[in-house]
Structure 1
Amino acid sequence: MAVASPAHRRRGPLRPFRLPLALALTLTGALGGAVITGAEPRPATAAPKPTVKQLKKELAALQKESDRLITDYYNGRIAREKAEKAEKAAKERLAAAQEVLDRESTELRAMAVAQYIDAVPADRLLLSGAGDPNALLNRLALARHLADRQHARLSGFARVRDEHARAEAEAAARAAELADQVADLAERKGKAVKQIDKIKDKIDQLYQAPGVRRSDGTWVPQLPGGADHITPRMRLVKTLVQERFDVPFGIGCYRTIQDGGEHPLGRACDFMLSRGGSMPTAGEVARGNEIAAWAIKNSKRLGIMYIIYRQRIWHARTGTWRTMSDRGGTTANHYDHPHISVY
């Protein structure tokens, strides 16, 4: 993160929106403007802007709370991983129980069919052996053996069925537990992300655009400088965007082509979302929307004059978006980059 300029640090508390009367008179005379005869009264309800010291104190508190939320999010991730393992094991047990249940069901059905086909009524069984006691005993022993075998098979099937039911219930419980953990983790992550966004916003407030702002909210122009040939105001915006959002496809600012825009004056940058004039991905389009929204939110404090993105332009004078005419291409219509210009 870039640091504020020494001049900014010497100012201490951030100045109110209007310049002090003495400085306003001096600037007005130097710029050849109308003479100010008196200071306008400030609204009684206007709240003082926070000082850099206050902002840093608030930032420290936010970061402490962020660490707690990140730790909470980490613990949620561990709990989710445990729930995932438990659900996987429960599914495996259910699959094994289902396999045993299917096999036992098949064998039980086969036994029932065989007994139905080969069944001999008890009275016929007794009559058939009436003349031979040994034959009768043998048939009775066979009938008991078949009954015992059937009872054992039925008892075994009952155990298999009950085990399958327990495995099924456990799998359902583990699935519900995992769903709860996923929802809980999403909630924890959402809280951490919001806290991080608050920290980013607080860091943004530590920076004030360099230079002089007029009473109407516009800024006195600056000269470009440095190896990148951009103004200090544009350099601050570029640095903040680059550090907050990351711009993997590059940032283009100064160019020599005199097209009537701000680039040759060092007061504009393009934050590229793709290469070679190709349409950006949905993720990069979202990144461009976030950059544009951030620029609008911080426009007054950072001296942002207008933003162009996706064949639309937002100007600080109106505070609204309007559609632009078709310039004939992805880059020309700013579909692959948001353009930010400063005063």
Structure 2
Amino acid sequence: MAAASSAGRLYPARASALVCAATLLLGAAPAHAEPKPSVKQLKKELTTLQKDSDQLITEYYNSRIAHQKAEKAEKTAKEKLAAAQEVYDHHSTQLRAMAVARYIGGDPGAMELLAGDQDPSTVLSRMALTQHLIDQQEAMLRGYAEVRDARGRAEDEAAARTEELEETLGDLESRKKKAEKQIEKIKDRIDLLYTAPGSRPDGTFVPQLPQGADNITPRMALVKKLIAERFDVPYGIGCYRAIQDGGEHPLGRACDFMLSRGGAFPSADEQRRGDQIAAWAIKNAKRLGIMYVIYRQRIWHVRTGAWRTMTDRGGTTANHYDHPHISVY
């Protein structure tokens, strides 16, 4: 015992190394996964999220009102500027015409009028006429200056209102994005309230029979319901088909979420909707029992977790460009 004790004291580094080696061979203890939130917890979170969402929506609404007022103010300012510009242009034209007339006709000064052998009454009369023209010119110049200043003020006001409008637009977009992000959080938490029927503890799924008027399984019915509520599919959802084509449609385990009508190529907005539906299905695949997704001539399978290109089947619908196809276990 003494020898063993002595060895333990003499070689502590060796003992430590043996412990480390054993740990590496046996593997570190697995970290505990985060427990799934309960329905009660989810509902509590939803209440908080909803309250925050209402506040964000209120702020977004107020921002919309401010933006509308700024739009109206900018429109009024631009109308005033247009009117001021019209008056300014008119005065500018008159002044230019007067300048040209004086240049062509000449402008005799007072000394020239007094020089020479002229009747005094004629001289006074011509001086009075000249003074009248000078007064008229000065009045026009004063009017021009007032019009020019008014135009400048209108221009400054219009510029200020445009800047204000741009600021309210930026604020509006910012608040809109915040509200949309909060709504997205709410949708994500609502999704977690639903559990795919027929799921086993090991993550596999019990086969199901089609049921109901639309002849689809309860699992497919849940996926269809969640997508219809979350994304709104205006061009229809096609599920059960009697044609035995080797797929899941005749088994009630597949649905097509249409993005256009009559085989037409979908718009850019509808393509984005298709991308969103496909992304949602992939995100929730393991929890809801989604087996694979087909969209835009590609297939994603839960086993591989990646997209791969499919062979060309010769058309917009056949290649799934106008709809995501979702199949469940």
Common topology (TM > 0.5): yes
Of 288, 295, 298, the residue aligned with 1:309 is: 295
Q: In 2, Cα distance between the equivalents of 1:121 and 1:137? A: 13
Does the CA-based 8 Å contact 1:214-1:220 persist in structure 2? Answer: no
Out of 59, 67, 72, the position equivalent to 2:54 is 67
Query: Where do 5+ consecutive residues of structure 2 fail to align?
Result: 1-27
Say if 1:277 and 1:331, in contact at 8 Å, map to a contact too. Answer: yes
Deviation at 1:106, TM superposition (A): 0.6
Residue 83 of structure 1 is matched in structure 2 by 70
**Cα shift at 1:133:** 2.5
Aligned counterpart, 1:185: 172
Query: Is 1:220–2:206 an aligned residue pair?
Result: yes
| Alignment-derived partner of residue 121 in structure 1 | 109
Counterpart of 1:256 (choices 234, 237, 242) is: 242
Question: Residues 80 and 185 of structure 1 are in contact (CA less than 8 Å); yes or no, is this contact kept in structure 2?
Answer: yes
More divergent stretch after superposition (272-281 vs 62-71) = 272-281
Gaps of 5+ in 1: 1-40
Provide Cα deviations, 1:74-113, integer angstroms capped at 9, x if missing partner. 1111111111111111011001100100110011111111
Using the size of structure 1 for normalisation, the TM-score is 0.85
Residues in 2 aligned to 1:58 and 1:197: alpha-carbon distance in whole angstroms: 13
Q: How far did 1:309 drift?
A: 0.4
Residues 48/42 of structure 1: CA separation in 2 closer, same or farther (3 Å cut): farther
Counterpart for residue 123 of structure 2 = 136
Amino acid at match of 1:58: E
Specify the structure having the higher radius of gyration (Cα).
2
3-state DSSP of counterpart to 1:65: helix
- Which residues of 2 match residues 158-307 of structure 1 at below 5 A? 158-213=145-200, 215=202, 217-307=203-293
RMSD of aligned Cα (Å): 1.5
Corresponding residue for residue 21 of structure 2: none
Aligned to 2:13: none
Question: Residues 60 and 172 of structure 2 are in contact (CA less than 8 Å); yes or no, is this contact kept in structure 1?
Answer: yes
TM-fit CA distance, 1:42: 8.2
1:53 matched to 2:43? The reply is: no
What's the counterpart of residue 110 of structure 1?
97
**Larger CA deviation: 143-152 vs 199-208:** 143-152
Q: Which 4+ stretches in 1 moved above 6 angstroms?
A: none
TM-score (norm 2): 0.88
**Given residue 188 of structure 1, which amino acid in structure 2 is its aligned partner?**
R
Q: Take 1:283 and 1:117, find their aligned partners in 2: how far apart are those partners?
A: 67
After superposing the two structures, state which structure 1 stretch, 271-280 or 63-72, moved more: 271-280
Kept after mapping to 1: 8 A contact 2:110/2:127: no
Q: Provide the C-alpha distance between the structure 1 equivalents of 2:261 and 2:123, rounded to a whole number of angstroms.
A: 95
Structure 1 counterpart of 2:111, one-letter code:
D
Amino acid aligned to 2:295: Y
**2 CA distance for matches of 1:342 and 1:73?**
39
Q: Which moved more, 1:309-318 or 1:268-277?
A: 268-277
Q: Matches of 2:148 and 2:234 in 1, distance apart?
A: 58
Name the SS for the 1:322 alignment partner: strand
State the Cα distance separating 1:243 from its structure 2 match: 0.9
